[in-house]
Amino acid sequence: MEQRTFPILMGILLVLVILTAPAYAEIPPPEDSEDPQFLEVWDALIALQEQIADAFCTILALEDEVAGLKLENVWVSPLVAYPTGPNGPHTTYITSGICNASDLPCTPGALEITGETVVTEDDYQWVIFPLILPDGGKVTGVMIHYYINTTDPATTYIAQTRLSQMTTPDGATVMMDDDTDLYGPGPFEHTSFASYQVGGANTLELKVVIGNPDDSIVIGGIEIFVER
């Protein structure tokens, strides 16, 4: 067989290999094909066909895995929150409750955080939001919708966004800690990214700074990004 025949034959057979089903991988070469080069090419193409079949099965398996990756994002009402000071005691620095819609651009479903006095970062004043998340789900982030009611945006803001997880009552693990300062006025939204698996009771914690007792921080809907 002439040498130039081999590239042509290889091209034709390669197209046939790609177009035919993997079941044809066991077809033997023609009985009258005794040319060693032809048989070598034939065996190589059969091996290639088997590799294509394996790759096809892998793609199908990946498609099934992606289809099973179901998003289960969780929306949280801010009204479940409670304020706390350093090490957990009840705080006398800040209070939280239903937003006063007559004074601020908010609805009664929003949470308003106010200060009884000036609150600095060193006062470690937090607002805690209990979360109900699917066990075993993967948390990938949290989005907070907020508004800052202040005449000086540089002095009243959210100083820290944190996700924590607890099993036994003697301690909790910080799973995400975002120290981005969230200034106003807004309304704005901010996303903090995380990557961990739910295996306990989860909370969202916001550290607040209030530069004037007349200022307030308003929290709207909170969305937790969860994958199953």
186-204 per-position pLDDT tens digit: 889 999 999 999 999 999 9
- In terms of Cβ atoms closer than 10 Å to its own Cβ (0-12, 13-18, 19+), residue 1 is exposed
pLDDT class of 210 with cuts at 50, 70, 90 = very high
> pLDDT exceeding 90 applies to what percent of the chain?
43
pLDDT class of 133 with cuts at 50, 70, 90 = very high
Rounded distance, CA 113 to CA 208, Å? 9
Asked if the model's pLDDT at residue 37 lies above 80, the reply is: no
Q: Which of 4-8, 150-154, 177-181 has the highest mean pLDDT?
A: 177-181
Query: What residues are paired with 191 via a beta bridge?
Result: 143
Domain segments of the chain as ranges: 5-68, 74-227
Give the pLDDT confidence score for residue 16 in this predicted structure. Answer: 55
Average pLDDT for 84-89: 70
Average pLDDT for 152-162: 93
Q: Which residue has the higher pLDDT, 32 or 75?
A: 75
Rounded distance, CA 166 to CA 164, Å? 7
Q: Which one, of 76, 173, 69, 192, lies nearest residue 132 by Cα?
A: 76
Rounded distance, CA 219 to CA 197, Å? 26
Residue 186, Ramachandran bin (φ over 0: left; ψ between -120 and 50: alpha; else beta): left
Average pLDDT for 64-87: 78
Query: Using CA atoms in the order 132, 135, 138, 141, what is the torsion angle rounded to 10 degrees?
Result: 10
Asked if the model's pLDDT at residue 64 lies above 90, the reply is: no
Angstrom CA distances, 68 to 5, 133, 141, stand at 48, 18, 20
Which amino acid appears at position 112 of this protein? E
Give the pLDDT confidence score for residue 21 in this predicted structure. Answer: 46
Contact 53, 22 (CB under 8 A): yes
Give the pLDDT confidence score for residue 132 in this predicted structure. Answer: 92
Rounded distance, CA 186 to CA 161, Å? 17
91-107 per-position pLDDT tens digit: 678 888 888 887 778 88
Contact 185, 104 (CB under 8 A): no
Cα angle 180, 185, 187 (rounded to 5 degrees) comes to 90
pTM (two decimals): 0.67
The residue whose two tokens read 């002439």 is 2
Fold of 74-227: Jelly Rolls (2.60.120)
Give the pLDDT confidence score for residue 33 in this predicted structure. Answer: 60
Locate all alpha helices (DSSP H) within the chain, ordered by sequence.
Answer: 5-19, 36-68
Rounded distance, CA 158 to CA 148, Å? 9
